[in-house]
Amino acid sequence: MHACICNECSYKRQGCHRPRYILSAIDKLVILTRCSGLRLADKRSLPCPNRLKWLETRDELYEEIMEKAWNKEGKYFGQSYEDKHVVDAAVLIMPLVFFIQAVRIYSNCR
């Protein structure tokens, strides 16, 4: 039994086959990093009881994006995990949220 939460579904749907857009995955990563208190706890040396769990989840999400959204042949990020051949300007936000360096995005613009 497979239930997925994709960015267009507002609730869990069994067997949902809608595309999982990379921008939604990046948004989740930013929210996890900034709203969970990880950055604040690191900067201010505050206690963060779930730190290891959040770091592990963040790292898993980062690896998922790099694995499933990167088009190895074209050397660019695709629009979604399913449509790696479609280029989307939304990936230009990646350096702004410190996901990757701008140099890597430059290869998308060539």
| Total of domains in the chain | 1
Burial of 71 from C-beta contacts in 10 A (0-12 / 13-18 / 19+): middle
C-alpha–C-alpha distance, residues 71 and 35, integer Å: 30
Residue 15: pLDDT band (50, 70, 90) is low
User: Would 77 be classed as within a structural domain?
Assistant: yes
Rounded-to-10 torsion of CA 31, 27, 101, 80: 150
- Under the banding of pLDDT at 50, 70 and 90, the label for residue 51 is confident
Long-range contacts of 34-40 (CB under 8 A, 24+ apart): none
pLDDT tens, position by position, 72-93 = 888 888 899 988 888 888 888 8
Could you tell me if residue 8 is inside a domain?
no
* CB neighbourhood size of 94 (10 A): 21
Instruction: Tell me, yes or no, whether 29 lies in a domain.
Output: yes
- Whether residue 13 is predicted with pLDDT greater than 60 in this model: the reply is no
Would you say how long the chain is, in residues?
110
Give the residue carrying structure tokens 């949220």: 97
Tell me if 93 is assigned to some domain. yes
Task: Compute how many other C-beta atoms are within 10 angstroms of the C-beta atom of residue 32.
Answer: 16
For residue 3, tell me if it sits in a domain: no
- Residue 56 is assigned to a structural domain of this protein: yes
pLDDT bucket at 106, cuts 50 / 70 / 90 = low
**How many CA atoms does the CB half-sphere of 91 hold within 13 Å?**
27
Residue 15 inside a domain? The answer is: no
Is 21 buried (19+), middle (13-18) or exposed (0-12) by CB count in 10 A? buried
Q: Does residue 90 form part of some domain?
A: yes
Q: What is the pLDDT of residue 17?
A: 67
pTM over 0.85: no
- Domain of 79 in residue numbering reads as 20-109
